[in-house]
Structure 1
Amino acid sequence: MLSSYAGAMDTQAMHIANGIVDGPVSAIFLIVAAVGLAFCVWRAKLDLDDRLAPMAGLVAAFIFAVQMLNFQVLPGVSGHLLGGTLAVMLVGPYVGALCVATVLIVQCLLFADGGLTALGLNVTNMALIGAAAAYVLVAALLRVLPRNPAGLGATALIASVAGVVLASMGFVVEYALGGTTELSIGAIAATMAGVHTLIGIGEGLIAAVTVVTVARVRPDLVYALRHFRKPAPAFHKAGATA
Structure 2
Amino acid sequence: MHVPDGFIDAPISAATAVVAATAVAVSLRGARRELDERTAPLAGLVAAFIFAVQMLNFPVAAGTSGHLLGGALAAILVGPFTGVLCVSVVLLMQGILFADGGLTALGVNITDMAVVTTVVAYAVFRGLVKVLPRRRSSITAASFVAAVLSVPAAAVTFTLIYAVGGTTDVSIGKVATAMIGVHVLIGIGEAAITALTVGAVIAVRPDLVYGARGLEQKLRLRVNGELVDVPAAEKTPVAARSHRKVWITGLVTSLVLAGFVSFYASANPDGLEKVAADKGIDDRAEQHANADSPLADYGVRDVEDARLSGGLAGVIGVGVTVVAGTGVFWAVRRRRTGDVSPASTSSV
Q: Same fold (TM over 0.5)?
A: yes
Q: Is 1:17 matched up with 2:14? A: no
Which residue number corresponds to residue 12 of structure 1?
A: none
Structure 1 counterpart of 2:127, from 111, 134, 140: 140
SS in 2 for 1:147: coil
Which residue number corresponds to residue 200 of structure 1?
A: 187
SS in 1 for 2:100: coil
Is this contact kept in 1: 2:139–2:211, CA < 8 A? no
Instruction: Measure, in 2, the Cα distance between the counterparts of 1:196 and 1:207.
Output: 16
Which residue number corresponds to residue 33 of structure 1?
A: 20
Is this contact kept in 2: 1:148–1:232, CA < 8 A? no
Is this contact kept in 2: 1:105–1:119, CA < 8 A? yes
Which deviates further from its counterpart, 144-153 or 121-130?
144-153
Which residue number corresponds to residue 65 of structure 1?
A: 52
Task: Output the TM-score relative to the length of structure 1.
Answer: 0.86
Counterpart of 1:87, as a letter, is A
Gaps of 5+ in 1: 2-14, 237-242
- The correspondence of residues 1-242 of structure 1 with structure 2, limited to 5 A, is 1=1, 15-74=2-61, 77-226=64-213, 229-231=214-216
Instruction: Measure, in 2, the Cα distance between the counterparts of 1:202 and 1:78.
Output: 10
Is this contact kept in 1: 2:139–2:212, CA < 8 A? no
Instruction: Measure, in 2, the Cα distance between the counterparts of 1:75 and 1:210.
Output: 27
Is this contact kept in 1: 2:152–2:187, CA < 8 A? yes
Counterpart of 1:207, as a letter, is T
Instruction: Measure, in 1, the Cα distance between the counterparts of 2:67 and 2:205.
Output: 28
Counterpart of 2:86, as a letter, is C
What's the CA shift for 1:78?
4.0
Instruction: Measure, in 2, the Cα distance between the counterparts of 1:181 and 1:172.
Output: 13
Instruction: Measure, in 1, the Cα distance between the counterparts of 2:67 and 2:158.
Output: 15
Instruction: Measure, in 2, the Cα distance between the counterparts of 1:136 and 1:111.
Output: 32
Instruction: Measure, in 2, the Cα distance between the counterparts of 1:185 and 1:108.
Output: 27
What's the CA shift for 1:70?
3.0
What's the CA shift for 1:124?
0.1
Is this contact kept in 2: 1:219–1:231, CA < 8 A? no
Deviations 1:27-75 (A, max 9, x none): 1000110011011001111221121111111211110011122345445
What's the CA shift for 1:195?
1.2
Deviations 1:158-215 (A, max 9, x none): 1001111111211111100011111211111111111111111111111111111111
Identical counterparts, % of pairs? 53
Instruction: Measure, in 1, the Cα distance between the counterparts of 2:32 and 2:105.
Output: 28
Instruction: Measure, in 2, the Cα distance between the counterparts of 1:89 and 1:232.
Output: 20
Instruction: Measure, in 2, the Cα distance between the counterparts of 1:207 and 1:54.
Output: 20
Instruction: Measure, in 2, the Cα distance between the counterparts of 1:72 and 1:51.
Output: 35
Runs of 4+, deviation exceeding 6 Å: none
Gaps of 5+ in 2: 219-234, 236-348
Counterpart of 1:165, as a letter, is P
CA root-mean-square deviation = 1.7
Greater Rg over alpha carbons, structure: 2
Which residue number corresponds to residue 239 of structure 1?
A: none
Residues 216 and 74 (structure 1), Cα distance of their counterparts in 2 relative to 1, 3 Å cut: closer
SS in 2 for 1:164: helix
Which structure is richer in relative contact order (CA contacts within 8 A, separation 6 or more)? 2
